[in-house]
């Protein structure tokens, strides 16, 4: 199993913490699914101190914490957010998001590489939210990233793996790098597919948080992810065009 | 003096970033920035505020 900057994940489900109907349901989704990593963010603190209660809940869950730079559109903004996140959450991990396009939330990969270099030089362990572009992947690794997180489809779209061919190519191109499908997963089958391709983890949020029963969907995602991972490790057969009888023909009775 | 705190103009008495946090009752786990630059916790007491400064005080929040 590939490690993430020296840390072995307890399991391959990275689960977001946004958009749940209530904090209790969020907590239930984590406890029932056993998701090992929680993504979190930073926002302006109000007078009521809402952020403190949330942070206490995450701490009580005992999960690994992956802060993000969601919503950042410039290198400066993303770097400053990462610096603030490191202090608040006490981890060098940062999910680096640099949004380049409003409708698709597609990463701005040029700024992404630039920010990744700055943050790596400052001692961060960067988890870049990127596209499935191989050259961008190479540049991110050259910038010091040791993990790549290509999108499956646009954030929140639930479309699954829009470009499975490219994701497979990415797995082949970077055999030693931990790869995570981040964003676009809508169904457990999508998540299972990512793992069957040999990905190391799946990061998802909306598919669980917006489901009618988030906790049950979180469990379904976990089972699918584990099934996909087991299948990949079990070395599946190749598909073929013609039938191949599974029951032996030799010894069949002559009855016609 | 008047500063812009988390996007809103407000009148404050505090003369340093540390004093501002105290004045606002924000004692929990927060991170601070002044004029778009990160100010580590250890530098808050010596970070003087001036009229028109833009201060951001951020806390843990849900994210994907």
pLDDT of residue A176: 96
Q: Does the pLDDT at position A73 exceed 90? A: yes
Annotated catalytic residue A95? yes
Residue A82 — very low, low, confident or very high, per pLDDT cuts 50/70/90? very high
Q: Mind listing the pLDDT tens digit for each residue in A141-198? A: 999 999 999 999 999 999 999 999 999 999 999 999 999 999 999 999 999 999 999 9
Mean pLDDT confidence for A50-72? 94
Count of beta carbons in the 10 Å neighbourhood of residue A139: 20
- Percent of chain A at pLDDT > 70 equals 100
pLDDT of residue A81: 97
Mean pLDDT confidence for A44-71? 91
Q: What is the CATH number of the domain that holds B19?
A: 3.10.20.30
Mean pLDDT confidence for A116-137? 98
Q: Does the pLDDT at position A25 exceed 90? A: yes
User: Looking at chain B from residue 6 to 25, which residues have their Cβ under 8 Å from any Cβ of chain A?
Assistant: 6-7, 24-25
pLDDT of residue A38: 98
pLDDT of residue A20: 97
pLDDT of residue A201: 98
pLDDT of residue A1: 73
Mean pLDDT confidence for A77-104? 96
pLDDT of residue A100: 94
Contacts with A13 (C-beta within 8 Å, 6 or more apart), sequence order: A33, A34, A35, A36, A37, A201, A202, A204, A218, A221, A222, A225
pLDDT of residue B38: 97
pLDDT of residue B63: 94
pLDDT of residue A207: 98
pLDDT of residue A174: 98
Q: Does the pLDDT at position A47 exceed 80? A: no
Contact A55 B60 (CB under 8 A): yes
Contact B62 A20 (CB under 8 A): yes
* C-alpha to C-alpha distances, B62 to A142, A156, B9, nearest whole angstrom: 31, 15, 26
Where is A246: in which H helix or E strand? none
Q: Which residue carries 């489900």 as its tokens? A: A13
Helices assigned H by DSSP within chain A: 23-33, 50-61, 75-89, 109-121, 134-142, 164-173, 188-196, 206-209, 214-233
Identify whether the C-beta of residue A38 lies closer than 8 Å to the C-beta of residue A99. no
Q: Mind listing the pLDDT tens digit for each residue in A198-254? A: 999 999 999 999 999 999 999 999 999 999 999 999 999 999 999 988 888 888 888
Taking the CA of residue A59 and the nearest CA in chain B, the distance in Å comes to 11
Provide, as residue numbers in chain A, all residues whose Cβ is less than 8 Å from the Cβ of B36: 76-77, 80
> How many domains would you assign to chain B?
1
Give the number of A-B residue pairs with CB atoms closer than 8 Å.
Answer: 105
Q: Does the pLDDT at position A49 exceed 80? A: no
Contact B29 A41 (CB under 8 A): no
pLDDT of residue A179: 98
Instruction: Kindly give the confidence (pLDDT) of every residue in chain B, 64 residues in length, as a single tens digit, with 9 standing for 90 and above.
Output: 999 999 999 999 999 999 999 999 888 899 999 999 999 999 999 999 999 999 999 999 999 9
Catalytic residue among A76, A95, A117, A252: A95
Nearest C-alpha neighbor of A113 from the set A83, A148, A81, A89? A148
ipTM of the complex: 0.95
- Select the residue of A16, A42, A87 nearest B41 (Cβ to Cβ): A87
Structural domains in chain A, CATH included, are 13-234 (3.20.20.70)
Mean pLDDT confidence for A115-135? 98
User: Looking at chain B from residue 19 to 58, which residues have their Cβ under 8 Å from any Cβ of chain A?
Assistant: 24-26, 28-33, 36-38, 40-41, 56-58
Residue B12: which domain range? Answer: 2-58
Contact B63 A45 (CB under 8 A): no
The mean pLDDT value of chain A amounts to: 95
pLDDT of residue A45: 86
């Amino acid at each position: 199993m590939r490690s993430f900057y020296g840390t072995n994940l307890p399991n391959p489900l990275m689960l977001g913490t946004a958009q749940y109907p209530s904090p209790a349901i969020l907590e239930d989704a984590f406890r029932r699914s056993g998701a090992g990593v929680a993504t979190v963010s930073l926002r302006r603190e109000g007078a009521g101190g809402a952020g403190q209660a949330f942070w206490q809940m995450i701490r009580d869950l005992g999960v690994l914490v992956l802060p993000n730079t969601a919503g950042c559109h410039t290198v400066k903004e993303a770097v400053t957010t990462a610096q603030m996140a490191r202090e608040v959450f006490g981890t060098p991990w940062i999910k680096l998001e640099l949004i380049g396009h409003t409708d698709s939330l597609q990463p701005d990969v040029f700024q992404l590489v630039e920010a990744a270099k700055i943050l790596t030089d400052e001692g961060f362990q960067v988890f870049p939210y990127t596209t499935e572009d191989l050259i961008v992947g190479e540049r991110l690794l050259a910038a010091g990233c040791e993990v790549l997180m290509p999108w499956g489809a646009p954030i929140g779209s639930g479309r699954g793996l829009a470009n499975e061919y490219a994701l497979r190519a990415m797995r082949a191109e970077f055999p030693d790098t931990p790869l995570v499908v981040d964003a676009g997963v809508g169904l457990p089958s999508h998540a299972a597919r990512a793992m069957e391709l040999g990905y190391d983890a799946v990061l998802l949020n909306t598919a669980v948080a917006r489901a009618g029963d988030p906790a049950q969907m979180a469990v379904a995602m976990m089972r699918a992810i584990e099934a996909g991972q087991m299948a990949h490790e079990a070395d599946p057969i190749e598909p073929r065009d013609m039938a191949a009888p599974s029951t032996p023909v030799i010894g069949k009775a002559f009855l016609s | 003096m008047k500063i812009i705190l988390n996007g809103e103009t407000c009148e404050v008495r505090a003369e340093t970033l540390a004093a501002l946090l105290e004045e606002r009752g924000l004692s929990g786990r927060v991170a601070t920035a002044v004029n778009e630059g990160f100010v580590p916790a250890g530098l808050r007491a010596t970070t003087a505020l001036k009229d028109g400064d833009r201060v951001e005080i951020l806390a843990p929040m849900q994210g994907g």
